[in-house]
Amino acid sequence: MKALSRSPPTGLDHRPCHTRPVSPTARDRRRRALERVGPIVVTLVAVLGLVAFAPGAEFDAARRLVGLGPGRLGAAPDVPDAGRYAFLTEVNGQPVGYDPCRPIRYEVNPAGAPDGWPDLVARSIATIEQATGLRFEDDGTTTDRDFFQRRTAALGRPLPVLIGWADASENRDLDGDVAGLGGSSPGEPSPLGRVHYVTGSVLLDQDAYARLAARPDGAVEMQGILTHELGHLVGLDHVEDPRELMNPSYVGQRGLGPGDRAGLARLGALPCG
Ligand SMILES: [Zn+2]
């Protein structure tokens, strides 16, 4: 039995499984600002003027209100609400996930990766895309090893999701039988008051992957671990059920279980903006 990753710790800001709590102060400020909005006719004209000429991505949500924003990139599959699933973060009763109208940019640091890592990553990404309707965008490879401060970026643009391998000497969270870590950080609430993840990371144990790569039957498990961590990345938490890939330990699952699929479909069906 191999532990896939630890439960997301709380109160810490630098672990990939942890999702930063949304600042209530920011939400309250937004609500108060909305309450100050003037008569509806004047407001509508002002919004239309703003969204027609503002090029910034932060206006996408406002543009969508008047039918000008980017559309949903894929459709979440219609699956039965079966099995067991849980979400890492909920805000106002809604799970937090990525905006389905924006691609999830990602890059890979291949240092320490097993041979054949491009196929491994592509297959797990495709599994999550099919199960959610979300779309990923490959930003190529990188030498970046900062798995824990993914929000820091030039000009306020979130860094891409980072996928990579490390050993326990670089990251103590990979000590023992932990095979990987995964998680994302939410951004500030959108103009519509919605909270989405904006970036995140998946860190895999290079020693565990080296051992699995040497085993004839190791490919399925390598795939399963990475897909499990991508499940965390897009918003799923652990469930204690050996039929689900989001079980805390890998126990021979051959891909997504019914609850994994139901939870991923809900994350992919979240509203945009
Ligand atoms: Zn996990």
Taking each helix axis from N to C end, the angle separating 258-268 and 218-234, rounded to the nearest 10 degrees, works out to 40
Mean pLDDT computed over every residue of the chain: 79
Rounded distance between C-alpha atoms, residue 216 and residue 249, angstroms: 20
Least confident residue range of 58-67, 69-78, 183-192, 193-202:
58-67
Per the structure block, which two tokens stand in for 5? 């990753």
Cα 8 to averaged position of ligand 1 atoms, centre (Å)? 8
Cα 69 to averaged position of ligand 1 atoms, centre (Å)? 34
Pairing relationship of beta strands 97-98 and 196-205 according to DSSP bridges: parallel
Look at residue 54 and tell me whether its pLDDT is greater than 80: no
Rounded distance between C-alpha atoms, residue 220 and residue 262, angstroms: 22
Cα 225 to averaged position of ligand 1 atoms, centre (Å)? 8
pLDDT digits (tens, 9 = 90+) for 190-242: 888 899 999 999 999 999 999 999 998 899 999 999 999 999 999 999 999 99
Q: In the chain, what are the domains?
A: 8-24+71-268 (3.40.390.10)
Question: How much is the pLDDT for 85?
Answer: 98
pLDDT: is 66 or 77 the higher one? 77
Cα 246 to averaged position of ligand 1 atoms, centre (Å)? 6
Note whether 258 and 243 are within 8 A (CB).
Answer: yes
Cα 12 to averaged position of ligand 1 atoms, centre (Å)? 17
Cα 143 to averaged position of ligand 1 atoms, centre (Å)? 25
Q: Where are the alpha helices (DSSP H) in the chain?
A: 24-35, 40-53, 60-65, 117-132, 206-213, 218-234, 258-268
Cα 170 to averaged position of ligand 1 atoms, centre (Å)? 19
Question: How much is the pLDDT for 87?
Answer: 97
